[in-house]
Chains A and B, each alone.
Chain A
Amino acid sequence: MDLSLLTIEIATVLLAIGVLVIGLLIPREQRFGLGYLVTIGLAIILFVSFGYYGINATAFEGMYYVDDFSIFFKQLILVAAVLVTLAATLYVKKMGTNYGEFFVMTVFAALGMMVLSSAGEFITLYLGLETMTISFYILTGFKKNDSKSAEAGIKYLILGAMSSGILLYGLSLVYGMTGTTVISEVAVKLAEMGSLSPAMVVGMVFLVAGFGFKISAVPFQMWSPDVYEGAPTPVTAFLAVGSKAAAFAALIRVFMIAFPDYSLQWKMLFAALAALTIIIGNLVAIPQTNIKRMLAYSSIAQAGYIMTGVIAANAAGVRGVAFYGMLYVFATIGAFTVVMNFSANTGSDEIRDYAGLARRSPLLAAVLTVCLLSMAGIPPLAGFAGKFYLFSSIVDQGYLWLVIIGLLMSMASVYYYLSVAKVMYMADPVDDSPIVVPAGAKAVLLITMIVTVFLGVYPQPLSVLANLAANSLFF
């Protein structure tokens, strides 16, 4: 048994526990360095993880994948975690208690995501999922002086538990039909069985519901606006990108590897859900007045776009998902970094309070605009390239209608994104005081903006990685 394959995960655990212990040992006033410590640790792990490309091995009898696909998603998660922890320092400090634990929980959530993206077997998958989710329950309810935070936590917990219940039920049915929980073996068993049995129909729908909850696909999306709004903003950011991306990784592995024989059925299912998700996400985002809520709906819509890559059910589609997922990390965290620093300064998340932000802090305004437009898929920002990858993977499979819906709605989404830009650029600020942005957050802002622009203009580097990831899944 080669445990070196698990280096990344082990390192992450050690980091988390190390920080936890250090946090307990040092006095309260000195704990504010812990955030940076976590960031540096995660960054090192991220750096190390590049060495794991091309291994394409499994550990524990096919139960745990260490392939390029999982590495890619782990890197995605690590990038998200690095950015979030770097950006969150001011916000967390303002939140008050348990400074160190916040970062520890974040790392644990990241660990859960990593396990999820590597899982080659249902039990591992389930535990990864739950580690991630339970960490998020805690993080969501972390803001002790804000009752909304607890409400979001309880909502997330109850709904999350229901959804994992139904996911489990689905998993159990698949296990019952195939007698195995290993994904690759499931495929073999199902291939022997041939036609689709009722249990598999129900099982698949339950799995769709379970994963659909995590990626917030309509009609399983309803928790996300409330939770996104109520959760502390760094958590929202991490939740929006990390949990979604990891769930997509697991979903892709389960459906593409385990159920390729039923792809006709689940593709149809996903196509319908994707269309609904895109439409409803974008439409409801329009009347929002709270920026976190607006971003929540927009992130629902984003999930819809990413689902198109799943529908393709081939390497091109996975490449699209991987590519889009990564740039979505930058766009979303960029946007939420603006939001968290803005609210750390002003205490507000209302869009109308962003009036004149362009003059109070040009950087915040510029980053928010760029990130939002990237989500809308406006060239030359990365979102455009991402959408191109996604939509080009399904257009020749007869899903032109979905492509048109996707593109139309993404252009319509510009309406509410630009409404924010309008407030920031056109209106005069009510309060002229400048916005304080700590160096770490500034770095995050610059990184996200530069990467978003750079990947839009020159997507080649990321597309190489995404290709590796996609191809490793189908080797």
Chain B
Amino acid sequence: MGFPVLTAILLSPIIGALISVFIPKEESKIIKAVAGITTFISLVLTIILYIVYYTQYVKTGIGGFAFTEDIPWVADLGVIYSLGVDGFSLPMLLLTNIIGFTSVFSRSWSVEKRAKEFYILLLILITGVMGTFIARDLFIFFLFYEVVVIPIYIMVIIWGSGSKTKDVTKEYAGMKLTIYLLIGSAFLLAAMIWMYKEAAGILGTPTFDIAKLATIDFSTQFQIVVFGMMAFGFTCLLSMFPFHSWSPDGYAGAPTAVSMIHAGVLKKIGGYGLIRIGLFILPVGAKFWAPLIAIFAVANVVYAALICLAQKDMKYVVGYSSVSHMGFVLIGVASMNIIGLNGAVANMFAHGVMSALFFSMVGYIYAATKSRYIPDLGGLAHQMPVAAVGFVVAAMASAGLPGLVSFVPEFTTFVGAFKEPSLQIPAIIALTGVVLGAVYVLRMVANVLFGPRKEEWDHVEDIKGSYWIPVVVLIVFIVAFGVFPSLLMDMVDSGVQPIAAKLVQATTAAAQMGGSI
């Protein structure tokens, strides 16, 4: 397969981090530039990949994994350094790179001190997230998955911040986030290990290859237990109610770049894993748990949206709103049909870019004003019109405005959900989230940006210089994928098809066996 382009994408930020190690820490501008350049290289490569895949695999209907790389890694475990992208992982990879690149240029006032450490950790973080999405080997997937947790912790405790509205410190927020995710991953790992052994018993050779694992028909009992454990791990990461409480605190505590990456892509690993691993390998177990997931999903949407109404801290609004939006993803997952899954995946992408922009703008305002407390702010559009534009675009995308990236995914999700008779009522309830979403988002926009000029913010500077990058890049993607959703949906569809096909095949097989699940 010639040039190992995925490895190149993966290595670029790592090389950036290594270079940064040898740059004196006073040269924070150079370090930032290195981070920007290396992530930009990854981004460009990914965009090229996206286009190539779109034209050569999606449009031609070939689909499947492309640009694969397989290097035996740990022989006795059957681990293979196995990378590849398909229509499912490519949007996620693109998302990671978009947000990775833009997060480098996000602003948080605390980063100016100890910039070197910050960018090194950020680059490691970005690499970890990317690796998760392109790994085709479960072991490699998990390796990357957990790589990201610790850098986040360190970034939160060093460069994070507490909140005015809730009695939390950054130490607490960081620790909660970390431990929560790790506890979730403990179950995930246990499930993975068990599945690996079971599969090794059936196949005769140990393997972590997701595609190979998916060919096995595990027993119903096994699937139910293992999927349950896995789902716990993944939905913790996805911040499913009632396992969400790390997320608003975590985002509020984290510096801007981390909030962007965490809400934008890291969370999506939960959804990605749930679909790619849970649904694909354990369809029968997934079917068993789907109703519960659906119920929690509805709770996510409505509960978190209502809580947003009571928030006075910008980051908490966005934090809870991202919990709320994950409900849409979960409903799509719970629908278990191709349309719903398409919607779920597309929703992950959409929420990614949108929340990244949102956090970027909130972070910018916070950095500029040193306040996130909504009643303190107001009329900021006077002083920072550009940030206001970005903020409004993010808000509108969050509210699901058509023409922006999140509308079509949400619509698709709901079509998928309504296709399942049992999900119709939950879906209707969840749809109210669309209204509530508009309420809290617009309230925040109104109270932060609009209204009479406040003199105290006259010293605040508008976005300029490299801080333009997140605004421009993210808005371009938000609008482009909103106006031309087929760029995303075709891709996603080609990626989700095999998974949906597996689901249909497995559940009909189970139904034919007479086993009611």
Contacts and interface: CB of A to CB of B under 8 A. Distances in A.
A234 B150 CA distance: 28
B190 A400 contact: yes
B484 interface: no
Contacts of B143: 379-380, 384, 456-457
A337 B187 CA distance: 33
Contact of A407 (B75, B144, B187, B196): B187
Contacts, number: 102
Contacts of B144: 379-380
A426 to B, nearest CB: 5
Contacts of B490: none
A412 B171 CA distance: 16
Contacts of A425: 154, 157-158
B204 interface: no
A395 B193 contact: yes
Nearest to A426: B157
B190 A412 contact: no
Contacts of B197: 392, 395-396
B17 interface: no
A54 B107 CA distance: 59
Given A463-B76, A463-B77, A388 B193 contact: yes
B146 A418 contact: no
B313 to A, nearest CB: 22
A404 B179 contact: no
A395 B517 CA distance: 26
A322 to B, nearest CB: 12
B186 A414 contact: no
A411 B177 CA distance: 12
B80 to A, nearest CB: 12
Contacts of A408: 183, 186-187
Nearest to A390: B193
A93 interface: no
Given A373-B150, A379-B143, A418-B178, A404 B201 contact: no
Contacts of A53: none
Contacts of B198: 396
Nearest to A421: B154
Contact of A378 (B139, B146, B154): B146
Given A379-B142, A403-B190, A410-B186, A418 B158 contact: no
A458 interface: yes
Nearest to B154: A425
Interface in B118-163: 139, 142-147, 149-150, 153-154, 157-158
B194 A378 contact: no
Given A411-B183, A421-B154, A463 B194 contact: no
Interface in A445-473: 456-460, 463-464, 467
A391 interface: yes
A464 B75 CA distance: 9
Nearest to B206: A392
Nearest to A417: B150
Contacts of A407: 186-187, 189-190
B190 A411 contact: no
Interface residues of B, number: 37
A223 interface: no
A464 B72 CA distance: 14
B19 to A, nearest CB: 17
A267 interface: no
Interface in A373-391: 373, 378-380, 384-385, 388-389, 391
B446 interface: no
Contact of A412 (B73, B117, B179, B193): B179
A196 to B, nearest CB: 29
Nearest to B225: A400
A426 B171 contact: yes
B76 A396 contact: no
Given A384-B146, A411-B179, A418-B175, A404 B157 contact: no
B84 to A, nearest CB: 19
A396 B158 contact: no
A392 B186 contact: no
A404 B190 contact: yes
B185 interface: yes
Interface in B193-239: 193-194, 196-198, 201
A378 B473 CA distance: 34
A388 B179 CA distance: 19
B122 to A, nearest CB: 15
Among B73, B145, B190: residue with most chain A CB under 10 A: B190
B182 interface: yes
B234 to A, nearest CB: 15
A243 to B, nearest CB: 28
Contacts of B189: 388, 391, 407
B193 A392 contact: yes
B22 to A, nearest CB: 13
A415 interface: yes
B292 interface: no
Contacts of B193: 388, 391-392, 395, 403
A378 B152 CA distance: 13
Contact of B186 (A411, A421, A456, A458): A411
B171 A422 contact: yes
Contact of B182 (A385, A414, A463, A464): A414
B73 A460 contact: yes
Contact of A415 (B75, B145, B175): B175
Interface in A327-368: 358
Contacts of B145: 379
A456 B146 CA distance: 12
Nearest to A400: B194
A452 to B, nearest CB: 13
A60 B158 CA distance: 61
B1 interface: no
Contacts of B154: 421, 425
Nearest to A409: B186
A369 B158 CA distance: 15
Contact of A458 (B73, B149, B182): B73
Nearest to A370: B150
B201 A378 contact: no
Nearest to A402: B190
B276 to A, nearest CB: 18
B194 A396 contact: yes
Interface of A: 319, 358, 369, 373, 378-380, 384-385, 388-389, 391-392, 395-396, 400, 403-404, 407-408, 410-412, 414-415, 418-419, 421-422, 425-426, 456-460, 463-464, 467
Given A379-B144, A395-B193, A411-B185, 6 more contacts: A384-B146, A392-B77, A403-B190, A407-B190, A418-B175, A426-B158
10 contacts: A389-B77, A396-B197, A403-B193, A407-B190, A408-B186, A415-B175, A418-B153, A421-B153, A425-B157, A464-B75
